[in-house]
Every structure is written in structure tokens, then in C-alpha cells.
A and B are shown apart, each in its own frame.
Chain A
Amino acid sequence: MRVRDRVTRVAEAVTTPLLPADYLDLFHPLRSGAPLRGRIEHVQPETADAATIVIRPGADWAGHVPGQYVRLGIDVDGVRLWRAYSLTHGPRADGRISITVKAVADGKVSHHLVHGMPVGSLVHLEQATGDFVLPPEGGKLLFVTAGSGITPVIGMLRNLFPVTDDGVVRLPRSDAFDITVLHVAPGEPHSIFAADLRALAAAGAIDLIARYDDVHGVLDVEDLSRLVPDLDARTTFACGPAGLLDALEAHHSGRGLELFTEQFRPTTRVVGEGGTVTYARTGTVVEADGATALLDAGEAAGVLMPSGCRMGVCFGCVLPLRQGSVRDLRNGEVTTAEPGDGVVVQTCINAAAGPCELEI
């Protein structure tokens, strides 16, 4: 056994039943070996309801490719909530990462991030992921960005064309790219990064077509070939609301054009009464009504479900809810989870409220 392993073993025996990490976390939460976290170092308002948040990630941050996003967890009203945010800088020399968040109406996490996180707060992080990234070989590209959908794109552009005090720098790695950006937003004052895009256009780094709903009216994808004359020669990367992406998809597939998209809202969850319950590991799928507990539905279908009191008291029945919505039969409260949210539910007092998937 290596010395290091041996030391670890002894340290674990000294702190059992906890781990040495549980004590170290009290003093050094960003150290190597800790669960990945970051500390907010700076909050820069972009518009009235958007801000760029600069984070120093923990020592184990593995880096990212511009265009990728990070899943970030914060506690809102005491509850850990996870959301994805695009990284808006290419890898930075100082090792910091940044995200730019737009506070959406009634948005729990986005509001908190924009308005309620003091500098110095800790956030939980996962490693960067996502394949909405620049093709390494370069080429003729069209970016279609709507609203906060500009964020992954600005990350790529900043990496290609860094801005210094002397203005936009043209690096050799950007030579292979010919980029047009079609940016759509409700109005210029609310448009994140509008100034950055203009600066890049002024420096000749990109061709910018800005369309503001209040000036130009809502974008119709049929106008695309008029707005971007060499559309057919370009590969399109689009990021924005589902409606726009769907329209683009239809438009591009009709013309046989290549399209890569990134959607900020994965799928709209339909919350209803009852639904299809998937017991993922056993592969069992049942249709359960809104009055049947997930525990009963699973047992009736032959799944070996953990249970205890069967009345919501003992927590002997909790299982991870991978995704979907469930409703508490006692007070009607709905719990919704997306993959990776780490939500667990008591199966004896929750019923399906739409399609849902349990980890068992």
C-alpha cells in the first residue's frame, strides 16, 4: 500500500463515521479532493436584469471548451437547486470562470444569482459539459442567438477574438473562421452583450445582424435567406427559446442545411394528474393515476420497493426522482426534478403528477 493511501486510511479511522473531508470542508472548501465548488468573486451587472458572475472554481476544476456550460447548484430558501449556465469566457488566464445570467420572471435560481448572491458566497459546481462548441477546423458559420441565448456564443467569440485595452485582438487561431452573428432580442437596452457584439463587428471580427423586436418586429425565419445572403454556405449554430429553434429546425431541414442547437429550457414539464412511472433500473413502466402512491404502483407491478410505515413518517421509502413531477398526496405539493438535480422523494405519499422516473 502506498504511503499516501495508508495516511488516508488512518485519517479516515480517526474521523469515522465522518470523513476527514467533512472537517476540512469547514476550513478549505475549494481544496483539491473536495466536492467541486466555487466562490463568487465578482458580480458585474450587464442590464437591469442580467449580471455576469465571476467564480473561482475549486482546485479540481478540469477546464472547459468555449461554448460549454456548467451546472451550478445554489441554496434558494434553504433548498439546493441546480441549473445550467453557459460559460461566457473562454478559459481565462486567471483560472476564473464566468457565467452571465438573465433573471427570468418568477425564476428562482436566476433571480437569486442576479440579485441575491453576495461576493464571497459558495456555489456548487459540476464539471463543464456540452457539445455546442466551435468546430476546431473553422469554417463559415452563422450564429443565431436570441436573448440570453447569446451566452455560449459570446464565450466562443471572446476566445477567438480577445478584447484588450488596445481593442479586439486577431489571433492566428481565428483566421480559419468566417462568422456572421444574427442576434435577436426584444429591445436593445435589455440585450446582454449587445455592446460586445458591436465592438467585434466594428473591429471586423464578425458580421453582425442585430434584430430588435421593438424596432424590426419579431423575426420570421423565412426572412433568413434575405438577412444572410450566403446562408446556404454557412453552418448554423442557434441558441434561444424552443419556438425559434423549432422554426429553424423546420426551415433548415427543408433546405438541407446543417444546424446545431442549444436549448436553455430542456423540456417543458407537463404537470398533471397521474402519469407514466418508470422504475428505471428494473425497467418497469406503469400507468399510475393521481391517487396511487408511487410505492403502491411499483409494488403492484412487482418492483421490490423499500418501505416502512407507508404513511409518510419514517423515510424508509425514499428514492431518487431522476426526472419528472410527483404530487404529495397529503397537501398537494408538487416536486419536479430534472436529471442531476439530486431530488429524492418519499414514494409512499407521492403520486405521479405527469411522467416521472424513479431510480430503482
Chain B
Amino acid sequence: MTTIQKKAANPAAHLSPEDVEEIGRRLDEIRQSVLDTRGERDAAYIRRVIDAQRKLELGSRAVLLFSILPPAWVVGTTGLAIAKIIENMEIGHNVMHGQWDWMRDPKIHSTTWEWDNASPADQWKHSHNELHHTYTNVVGKDNDLGYGIMRVDEEQRWHPMYLAQPLWNFINACFFEYGIAAYDLELGKNLASKKRRSSPDFKARAKVTLKKIRNQMTKDYVLHPLLSGPSALTTLSANFTANLVRNLWTHSVIMCGHFPEGVETFEKTSIDGETRGEWYLRQMLGSANISGSQAMHFMTGNLSHQVEHHLFPDLPSNRYAEIAPQVRALFDEYGLRYHSAPLVAQVASAWHKVFRLSLPNGFMEAPASSVTLLATKRGRRELRRRPAA
């Protein structure tokens, strides 16, 4: 991919400024329609999810007290992995986005929620909500693109070090929660110079993160194993496995959100003085959905509706599926590509890009799917995109 401004055929070139503002207005309408009907049903939904998640976690941990028995290990580990995924994705991520702040329940609130993850909520909210969601896919501003350790764009100069990026990406996937914590701390940047290393702000934040990690590790790798008595070692391995599964799953889902082939990136200067309509458009072009079953949507914390989530990060996640058809219709009407593919295809596409960009430009072709023909209601215009870089 290439930042959109440098593309021969910009996929939004056919839109006039009025079109863009009209898209913004229409999206505001969709948002308002959800706000107008947001209420008891939604509140009941999130409470039910939290209640079920806590019981699942308690139950799984109870079963793991007997993890020395293989069936107990399998059942407990599966349950715990699922509970952790739900806690991180459908609950934690979305609560910390402020999706449920409107309920005024201090226990389910972006300002009070702490999640079962290495990164402290405050730091994650800063890097995720403020940076990633504001500067979505702006190269150099949105570190979610490659987490600062990968080559994510043809225009980033190639270096032999990038040959190993598939391996980095895999290791990052396995230990994703620590990757996120390091990234929220801006570890790379902050360790690079003595001045940054010793800045009081960085030291204070690092201390908080280390404490969180220590607490998390003590819980999963010391206390729960000890409580399991003779099952100590197997509970340890169960907890490790549950964390690993959670890490691999969340990494895959998140990679699908912005990384598949064909999703656009933007230049820093392009967002100066951006209007609301233009901001919306950037979110539309820079996100990709995962199609699949209701259970799959739930397990991704509805991040499978990445497009809707990026347009409306503060709407309750249970509503994304409902508005997706309206959003998609708007894409079609304005001749924009609505990226959506099944999980396996999106993960494969994202990994393909990781491999492709690990090599110098031109060694590996971008898949044909990024050459798109788009039909618009208004004029049936053909838009051609350059095949690879």
C-alpha cells in the first residue's frame, strides 16, 4: 500500500468536497439513530455479558483447581481463554472506549475500568483512544500500524532488518499483551536516549506498568497454581496457555482491522485542518471488517465491525451489527470499497502483507483483490487502483 495521497488513482478522488460533507451528515444521522434508541436493552446486554464472563472465569478457575486431571485441564483452559478474550475485547476494550459511560454506572465506566491485560488502562486509553482512533492509519502518527517495529508501507525505506519481520510479528502475537504494554509506554522511543530514559514521566509510567505486570503474573503464575495444590504445575501451564490463546486471537483480530491488503494509509500533512466529513472518510478507507457468525463477532468484541467501530467508537458494540447494512449502503452509494472478508482470508491477507513488505518493493505482488472496480449509483464510474505499490 502507499499513502493515499501518492496513489495514481485515489479511491476517493471521485468525491467532491460536498459529497464528503454529505457522507459526514449521513453518518451523523446513523449515529443519532442509535443514540435515540440507546437504553435499557443495551444496558441489560452489557450487564449480562459482564455477569456471564465473571461466572465463566470463576467456573474455569475452579475447574483448574483439579487441572492435574486432563479433562479438567482442557475444560478449564478453554473456559479461561474464552473468559479472558471476552474480558479484553467485548468488555474491556469497549468499556474503556466510553461506549457504556452513558449508563452512569461507576462500575462500568471508561474512567474506572481496569482490564485483565499487561497494559494499565490509562496508558492504553491514551495510545489507543487518543492516538490510534484520532490519527487512524496516518503513517508516523498512528503507531498501531506495525507498532513501530515493522515495515507497513511501501514508502518506508526497506532495510535488511525487515527480513525478520514475519518472525517479529509472530513473537509479538504470542506475547501480544506485553507488546501492547511496551508500545503504550513507547518503549522503543523512550529507551533510545538517556534523556528520555530518565525522564520522570517515563519512569513513573514504567513503574505503573511493571506493577500491573507483576500483579498479573502473580495471579496467573503464582497464586492460582498455589491454590491448586497438587495441580499447581498443570494450572500454571493452563494459565499460560489461556494467555497465549488470548494473545494470538486478539493479535489476529487487531491485525485484520487495518492491515489487510487494500486498506489505505494517509500522510501526516493530509489531516491538517480535516473536516468531520474528511475524518469520517479516512476511517472508512482505513478500516476492514471480518464477516462471519454472531459468535465470531462476539468473540472479537465486535471489532469485526471495525469500519463501524472506527466511525463511531463510542457507540455500544452490540449496535454495530445493526447499523452495518446502512453503513455499507452508504459506501456503495458513494462508490467506496467496504472491506469485508472472512476471518481466515483477512488474517491471510494481513500476513501476506507482512511477508511482502519484509522484502524490498517489487519482489512480491500485491494480490489482485486490491485492483477494484467500483460501481457507483451516481454515474457508474470506474475506479482503477494501481496493482502493487
Assembled-state Cα–Cα distance A344/B108 (Å)? 13
Q: Please tell me if the beta carbons of B44 and A313 are within 8 angstroms of each other in the complex.
A: no
Most buried by B among A15, A313, A342: A313
Residues of A contacting B109 in the complex (Cβ-Cβ under 8 angstroms) = 344
Assembled-state Cα–Cα distance A192/B55 (Å)? 44
Q: A17-25, A87-95, A211-219: which one contacts chain B? A: A17-25
Bitwise, B208-252 to A at CB < 8 A (1) or not (0) is: 000010011011000110010000000000000000000000000
Most buried by B among A316, A333, A346: A316
Residues of A contacting B55 in the complex (Cβ-Cβ under 8 angstroms) = 26
Q: Please tell me if the beta carbons of A314 and B219 are within 8 angstroms of each other in the complex.
A: no
- Does A230 reach chain B (CB closer than 8 Å)? no
Question: Which residues of A327-348 are within 8 A (CB) of B?
Answer: 330-331, 333, 341-344, 346
Q: B98-106, B336-344, B353-361: which one contacts chain A? A: B98-106
Q: Could you tell me the dominant secondary structure of chain B's interface residues?
A: helix
A77/B39 contact (C-beta < 8 A), A26-B55, A308-B130, A314-B129 known: yes
Residues of A contacting B101 in the complex (Cβ-Cβ under 8 angstroms) = 315, 318, 344
- Does A13 reach chain B (CB closer than 8 Å)? yes
Residues of B contacting A10 in the complex (Cβ-Cβ under 8 angstroms) = 223
Residues of A contacting B42 in the complex (Cβ-Cβ under 8 angstroms) = 78
Residues of A contacting B216 in the complex (Cβ-Cβ under 8 angstroms) = 16-17
Assembled-state Cα–Cα distance A309/B310 (Å)? 14
Assembled-state Cα–Cα distance A315/B125 (Å)? 8
- Does B148 reach chain A (CB closer than 8 Å)? no
Q: B4-12, B110-118, B167-175, B292-300: which one contacts chain A? A: B110-118
Q: Please tell me if the beta carbons of A17 and B125 are within 8 angstroms of each other in the complex.
A: no
Q: Please tell me if the beta carbons of A75 and B98 are within 8 angstroms of each other in the complex.
A: no
Question: Which residues of A61-99 are within 8 A (CB) of B?
Answer: 75, 77-81
Residues of A contacting B219 in the complex (Cβ-Cβ under 8 angstroms) = 13-16
Assembled-state Cα–Cα distance A299/B364 (Å)? 51
Closest to A10 in B: B223
Q: Please tell me if the beta carbons of B104 and A311 are within 8 angstroms of each other in the complex.
A: no
Q: Please tell me if the beta carbons of A314 and B40 are within 8 angstroms of each other in the complex.
A: no
Closest Cβ of chain A to B234, distance in Å, is 18
Q: Please tell me if the beta carbons of A18 and B114 are within 8 angstroms of each other in the complex.
A: yes
A22/B130 contact (C-beta < 8 A), A17-B212, A344-B111 known: no
Q: Please tell me if the beta carbons of A17 and B114 are within 8 angstroms of each other in the complex.
A: yes
Inter-chain contact total with CB atoms closer than 8 Å: 107
Closest to A320 in B: B111
Q: Please tell me if the beta carbons of B103 and A79 are within 8 angstroms of each other in the complex.
A: yes
Selected from B44, B51, B110, the residue in CB contact (under 8 A) with A315 is B110
Assembled-state Cα–Cα distance A110/B44 (Å)? 21
Most buried by A among B104, B125, B314: B104
A308/B134 contact (C-beta < 8 A), A10-B223, A331-B32 known: yes
Q: Please tell me if the beta carbons of A314 and B111 are within 8 angstroms of each other in the complex.
A: no
Question: Which residues of B48-97 are within 8 A (CB) of A?
Answer: 51, 54-55, 58, 97
- Does B35 reach chain A (CB closer than 8 Å)? yes
Q: Please tell me if the beta carbons of A13 and B103 are within 8 angstroms of each other in the complex.
A: no
A23/B111 contact (C-beta < 8 A), A308-B134, A313-B129, A315-B129 known: no
Q: Please tell me if the beta carbons of B133 and A14 are within 8 angstroms of each other in the complex.
A: no
Residues of A contacting B314 in the complex (Cβ-Cβ under 8 angstroms) = 312-313, 315
A309/B130 contact (C-beta < 8 A), A75-B43, A331-B32 known: yes
Assembled-state Cα–Cα distance A77/B37 (Å)? 10
Residues of B contacting A346 in the complex (Cβ-Cβ under 8 angstroms) = 98
- Does B197 reach chain A (CB closer than 8 Å)? no
Q: Please tell me if the beta carbons of B102 and A342 are within 8 angstroms of each other in the complex.
A: no
- Does B179 reach chain A (CB closer than 8 Å)? no
Assembled-state Cα–Cα distance A30/B104 (Å)? 21
Closest Cβ of chain A to B39, distance in Å, is 4
Closest 9 CB pairs of A and B: A78-B43, A308-B130, A315-B98, A314-B129, A77-B39, A17-B114, A309-B134, A80-B104, A314-B130
Q: List 11 A-B contacts (CB under 8 A).
A: A13-B218, A13-B219, A14-B224, A15-B219, A16-B218, A16-B219, A17-B212, A78-B39, A312-B314, A318-B110, A318-B111
Beyond A331-B28, A344-B109, list 16 extra A-B contacts (CB 8 Å).
A10-B223, A17-B212, A17-B215, A75-B103, A308-B129, A309-B130, A309-B134, A312-B314, A314-B134, A315-B97, A315-B110, A315-B111, A315-B129, A318-B101, A342-B104, A344-B104
**A residues with CB within 8 A of B:** 10, 13-18, 22-23, 26, 75, 77-81, 308-309, 311-316, 318, 330-331, 333, 341-344, 346
